Structure 1
Amino acid sequence: MKNKAAIIVAGGKGLRMCGPIAKQYLPVAGLPVLMHTLAVFNRVVPAIDLILVLPASDFPYWEELCAEYKFTLPHRVVSGGNSRFQSVRNGLEALTTEAILVAIHDGVRPFVSDQVILESFVEAERTGSAVAVVALKDSIRKLRDDGKSFFEERQYFRLVQTPQTFQVEKIKKAFKVTELQQFTDDATVYENQGWQVTLIPGNVENIKITTPEDMAYAEFIALRKLADR
């Protein structure tokens, strides 16, 4: 029974990539970014129900890519919305009744580790949620409206990644509310119900590919992973 699901959100237009093709479709180590992302979830949880959320206008192009790269990994494609919140909600509505746990993941984070995925499901089953985070390496300062800045203790802060994994019943309830500006990710939607999120260690290679510089680093990571196998 497919009691675990993953919603891979890939609705971006790639404007910061400054190119004609959205970042999720660009090749890294010979394969489009999205295919790397889908493959890691399928490898870690072979029976997982994979839901890919794309702009409806991209459906034909995705079909072409799947044919070109002979990508036959089982997944379902769902139409996205006008915002990430709406796209995730569409993905949640597409879940089967068997799904108990769901990981929500950025399509342009193809290097999430196996361990992070596995731990996210274990922790979400235990506490209701699991949000991958990493510690900051650099010093940070807080800016004020008057232009002044102040030192902050970095040990009290974390960089938030995906997957953000939840018990399906709870996250579906959380997404039934009206979208708010404060909803920057799925964890903030979950917290809006008054529930505390559980943090788990992420992995530093789990970058979000956004700029051309990210693509160069992604190529390095992908080739290193291939060499290590």
Structure 2
Amino acid sequence: MVYKLSSVLALVATLALTGNAQKQIQGLTFAGNTGAPDSSFNLPKNALAEAPISDLKSKAFACRSNGFNFPAIKSYSATGGEMFIVTWDKAAIEASGKSKITGPCNHWLASTAAGTDNLKWFRIGEVGYSAESGWCTDIIRKDGQLVVSMPDDLPVGDYIFRSEVIDLTYAGKTSNDDPTMGAQFYADCLKYSVTGGKNQKMPTEGLVSLPGAYLATDKGLLLNLTADGKPPAGKYTVPGPALHQQRK
């Protein structure tokens, strides 16, 4: 698919890596028009105390303690098949303290056609590790941007978009074994409406619950990084269900 500049979605996000994250995704611009950010976010009142999350069973895992209680003024919308440019705050990453955040990124969608109880999530994008570019977090430090393609085979309707960074700095043990250890998750959610595309039925494969998609002992969550922050043997598989494969 060929993307035109005018059809690129710019998703402006910020990630506070010292545990003081408030709104990790800041806003969305589509074709030059910026929506009112707070109308699409579910920012909880005590957001400053809610990132990162290392308890994989926490009710706040998917979208923090406010759950899916959005202000509901408007959603960001675009035709299925468009591209997101996810822009993270490089300054926050570089000022993360003694140990820099290191790890992969995942991007998720969940349809709200049947409400927000028992949402089923599917992954639409990931950035892991490569010898050429390093970790997803290294790409953020260098470019500040990640490109995510919105599937063009989804039914028209409302969704929740979830962007997630996983910090593996303390992933040598699980948080169950040591409360100060474990992979740490930074994520936030916003409302998103698909207004066009192939308008096919919802996918049935790769659907998971959040919390529930991860186990503390998953290969991609329980590992010791090398002294220079690389995965063992230089290889890494991003945790999570299989990525959504677009249908013809």
After TM superposition, the score normalised by the length of structure 2 is 0.25
Q: Which has the larger share of helix? A: 1
